[in-house]
Structure 1
């Protein structure tokens, strides 16, 4: 593929966000083809409670889908590890939360950084059988959009209108790597799952619950949200239950 010279600007509301607060930090990770816009309400709510918050922009996201096409799953890992390092410089204690592939990356970090105090994956993806056939496909170059699966009317996720085939192949690699190491997760986990999700099968969260080695782990169902639950009817519950979880781990 020829090197592309186009430099796409970061979209308004797609920028990374940072809030400095206490010695307790929270890494807040958005999802595949999405942007920080989907996680900003959570980040702002946690910052209001005094926590230090980092919401990184995953490489190739929040710009243009052709930009995303050029990135690998290692690039996305590097994006969250940079955010983790930013928090480590400022905080003694770190929690990680993420939506969809952000939840996958949350699990990835927990598998490799045992000092993480707790994780809150939200509709995390580790196994999407419907995507598997894309692994050997060569075309079309771009697939339909998968963003904005939201039950709440008139709410739209800032996400790409098309999905690069190459990026699907990359998330499949990431999910395989994370799924095969789930038993390495030992920190407390609060796992959110929508009862109806048109992007990631809800059984993913059950699989995570069963395979992580954490002694303290809870599955919290969200009855009134689709995939992008952080912008949906259950947003308030996610914030409330997460704050309770953080307080319990810190007490």
Structure 2
């Protein structure tokens, strides 16, 4: 059986990677798991007491459980989840890795909170249309405790060195119009990952929520092709 761990991003929940997870779960003999990181998935205020160590521990437990059940392991990480995925790929017997807008570099947090709230709809989706999910994210960004941002920054600092230890096939997909994670993040990861089989795809029309944007079908197809090819 193939086990696939999908990891969402900071302040987010499994919805961020759900289109990819749902598509892969339709494959025969696949077990796809998308855990909710501690402090996430409900009110953003619950992040106040969450620590980066808890986020790391949660994905370690998840991959260990999949390892018990599956002979082949894949990991997909979005945004902050991409850095957690890199950490897991460097330390566990993972066979393939997919990084989606992985946050090796990121918008300055103070500037993020100053400028992003008023324009988050455009930066994430490229549209000004009303949408309940976008309203939810606006609320999350307003409520996110600054202590949680500090934990986010620590997680990036702690996990970033592990990318250079990755030697397995890796697919990096980055939205060129991402307003939160800059393109240089993808180039950095591509440069430091030591795998002989690695690929960087830049989606010209995609913003941060790359699994829900204009090119989501293309993103899903690229991931499926990469993971199902021998």
Which TM bucket (shorter chain)? 0.7 to 0.9
For residue 132 of structure 1, report the CA deviation from its aligned partner. 7.7
Whole-angstrom distance in 2 between the partners of 1:105 and 1:25 = 17
Deviations 1:104-135 (A, max 9, x none): 1111111211x10011010000122613899x
Change (3 A) 1:123 1:145: farther
Whole-angstrom distance in 1 between the partners of 2:125 and 2:195 = 30
Tell me what 2:90 maps to: 111
What is the TM-score of this pair, normalised by structure 2? 0.87
Tell me what 2:52 maps to: 73
* Structure 2 portions without partners, runs of 5+: none
Whole-angstrom distance in 2 between the partners of 1:72 and 1:85 = 20
Q: Are 2:75 and 1:96 equivalent residues in the alignment?
A: yes
Larger RCO, structures 1/2 (Cα 8 Å, 6+ apart): 2
Tell me what 2:16 maps to: 38
Q: Are 2:180 and 1:195 equivalent residues in the alignment?
A: no
Q: Pick from 121, 126, 145 the counterpart of residue 151 of structure 1.
A: 126
What is the TM-score of this pair, normalised by structure 1? 0.80
Q: Are 2:206 and 1:228 equivalent residues in the alignment?
A: no
Contact 1:100 1:124 survives alignment (8 Å):
yes
Tell me what 1:179 maps to: 160
Whole-angstrom distance in 2 between the partners of 1:102 and 1:78 = 13
For residue 82 of structure 1, report the CA deviation from its aligned partner. 2.1
For residue 144 of structure 1, report the CA deviation from its aligned partner. 4.7
Q: Are 2:145 and 1:164 equivalent residues in the alignment?
A: yes
For residue 86 of structure 1, report the CA deviation from its aligned partner. 2.4
Tell me what 2:63 maps to: 84
Q: Are 2:185 and 1:210 equivalent residues in the alignment?
A: no
For residue 181 of structure 1, report the CA deviation from its aligned partner. 2.8
Deviations 1:24-76 (A, max 9, x none): 11101111011111111211100112221000001100111121111011111
Tell me what 1:219 maps to: 200
Tell me what 1:12 maps to: none
Change (3 A) 1:45 1:184: same
User: Which structure's residues are more often helix, by fraction?
Assistant: 2
Deviations 1:164-220 (A, max 9, x none): 211111111111122223211111100000111111111100000001111111001
Q: Number of residues paired by the alignment? A: 220
Question: Superposition RMSD on alpha carbons, in Å?
Answer: 2.4
Change (3 A) 1:216 1:145: farther
Contact 1:190 1:217 survives alignment (8 Å):
yes
